[in-house]
Amino acid sequence: MSKVILVAVGGNALIRREQEGTAQEQFENAVETAAAVVRLIRAGHRVVLTHGNGPQVGAQLIRSESAATHAYRLPLDCCVASTQGEIGYVLQYAMWQMMQAEGLNTPVVSLITQVLVDPRDTAFQNPTKPIGPSYTKEAAERYRDHLGWAIAEDPRHGFRRVVPSPEPVAIVELEAIKACVDRGLVVIAGGGGGVPVFNDHDISKGVEAVIDKDHTSAILARQLDADVFAIATDVDHVYLDFGKPKQRPLDSLTIGQCRRYLEEGQFPPGSMGPKITAAIKYLELGGKMAVITDHEHLLQATEGKAGTRIIRDEESG
């Protein structure tokens, strides 16, 4: 039976840990995501794709600062929007080429996506999300004084700019995304968590913040009434004691178990933690099915045959 499947692509989809992150490498790496989407389409499903943009937005900020004496400086919200277009193009190109080779003719579209955030979110009083390059103390203080940046010291990397990371509230372009899905298009949306916006009628400036991409994906999956919220990462299952000799793959996790393991530190904030909390958010909003797996097993995971399912406590019976 045809399903609407939202696939949240992990941050390693285009730039791998051991790579420099060149444009050529990103085009080559996009093939893995494209292949997974094609398998879903061949099975008769409709697909919405979301993605991260951490390395790309960092590079965009470096370009902006390096060229600041020759061209206008790009604010963070514009950098998020431009990387949505950049990454969307790379993924679109890979999917279009692969579909041509497979004899498929499913259109793919990327949508610049704005995400409503609450100006009263406490994150705006406590910026914590590091972005962009590292600076010396002197350079960081200049940016703080001249541009009003919040600066934090990173023991490993010197000083970095930090920005708020508010919770997503709603997807501004939801109806446009729905219209595309209803027409059978593959939609790439919500890139990098979306461009954060206030509904305050102030068009003089954007919101310089970063939204967690997995949490935006959870909201979008629910608002689309997706049948499956699939988080694609670089491991086939969620593991306990990951990376240790006795690591154990999990076929399913209840919300209660997820919360307990999060408290125990099993799912760190920089890796599996946000994926687990996004799956919880989706289910608590009334979502149907949440799975975490790698690209290779994505189709089987949407059928309940692979990966790790996150389920409500009452479903564990």
For residue 114, count other CB atoms closer than 10 A to its CB: 20
Q: What does the pLDDT read at residue 201? A: 81
Q: List the catalytic residue out of 10, 88, 129, 192.
A: 129
Q: How far apart are CA 58 and CA 170, in angstroms?
A: 25
Residue 21 belongs to a domain with what CATH number? 3.40.1160.10
C-alpha torsion sign, points 18, 24, 26, 28:
negative
**Which of helix, strand or coil describes residue 268?**
coil
305 falls within a domain: yes
269 falls within a domain: yes
Question: 241: closest CA among 280, 268, 276?
Answer: 268
Pairing of strands 186-188, 108-110: parallel
Q: Any catalytic annotation for residue 275?
A: yes
Give Cα separations from 7 to 10, 66, 91, 170 (angstroms).
9, 35, 13, 18
250 falls within a domain: yes
Question: 112: closest CA among 168, 165, 160, 176?
Answer: 176
138 falls within a domain: no
User: Residue 83's domain spans which residues?
Assistant: 4-116+174-311
Q: What does the pLDDT read at residue 11? A: 66
| Residue 226 per-residue DSSP state | -
154 falls within a domain: no
In terms of Cβ atoms closer than 10 Å to its own Cβ (0-12, 13-18, 19+), residue 120 is exposed
Q: How many CA atoms lie within 13 A of 107 on its CB side?
A: 8
**Which of helix, strand or coil describes residue 300?**
helix
Counting every residue, how long is the chain?
317
Pairing of strands 252-254, 248-250: unpaired
**Which of helix, strand or coil describes residue 317?**
coil
CB 90 within 8 A of CB 72: no
Output Rg (C-alpha) for the chain, integer angstroms: 20
Could you tell me the pTM of the whole model?
Answer: 0.93
Q: List the catalytic residue out of 10, 11, 132, 192.
A: 11
Give Cα separations from 183 to 173, 176, 244, 265 (angstroms).
16, 11, 46, 43
Question: 235: closest CA among 149, 301, 136?
Answer: 301
Q: What does the pLDDT read at residue 315? A: 77
Q: Which residues contact 59 (CB under 8 A, 6 or more apart)?
A: 21
Give Cα separations from 119 to 84, 97, 148, 295 (angstroms).
23, 42, 18, 36
149 falls within a domain: no
Q: Any catalytic annotation for residue 288?
A: no
Q: How many CA atoms lie within 13 A of 189 on its CB side?
A: 29
In the numeric block, the tokens 């913040």 are attached to 209
| Residue 166 per-residue DSSP state | P
Q: What does the pLDDT read at residue 316? A: 66
Q: How many domains does the chain have?
A: 1
122 falls within a domain: no
Q: What does the pLDDT read at residue 40? A: 96
Q: Any catalytic annotation for residue 199?
A: no
Q: List the catalytic residue out of 275, 281, 287, 307.
A: 275
157 falls within a domain: no
Token reading at 164? 């708020």
pLDDT in tens, the chain (317 residues): 789 999 999 767 888 878 888 999 999 999 999 999 999 999 999 999 999 998 899 899 989 988 989 999 999 999 999 999 999 999 999 999 999 999 999 999 999 999 999 999 999 999 999 888 888 899 899 989 988 899 999 887 789 999 999 999 999 999 999 999 999 999 999 999 999 999 988 777 889 999 999 999 999 999 999 999 999 998 999 999 998 999 999 999 999 999 999 999 999 987 899 999 999 999 999 999 999 999 999 999 999 999 999 999 887 65
